[in-house]
Amino acid sequence: MSQVLNLYTTLGCHLCEQALAIVHPLVAEKGIELKLVEISESEALVEKYGIRIPVIRLENREEELGWPFDSQAAEAYLELAAA
């Protein structure tokens, strides 16, 4: 079973675009599926992530990584989660 990394985002979020540029090569390298989650489609997600996006979270983990993060932090998160 492959892992899925959720990237919580919304339209017009320039920080989310930066986060996507960071995580996209990492998930491609590690064979992880990347799922963009549009928070504006859910009131619960807006309440949870509205001022925190971008946030990444592997679907099988409770731990999240919120912005700001760089490629080293994102890779460390993915490595820890895989352990």
Let me know: does 56 contact 50? Beta carbons within 8 Å. Answer: no
Write down the pTM of the prediction. Answer: 0.93
- Alpha-carbon distance of 72 to 74, in angstroms, equals 5
User: Please, what is the average pLDDT of the chain?
Assistant: 94
For residue 74, give its domain range.
Answer: 4-82
pLDDT value, residue 30: 92
Sorting pLDDT into bands at 50, 70 and 90, what band is 60? Answer: confident
Domain count for the chain: 1
CATH, residue 20: 3.40.30.10
pLDDT for 11-51, tens place per residue? 999 999 999 999 999 999 999 999 999 999 999 999 999 99
Per-residue confidence band for 80, with pLDDT thresholds at 50, 70 and 90: confident
Are 65 and 73 contacting, i.e. CB atoms less than 8 angstroms apart? yes
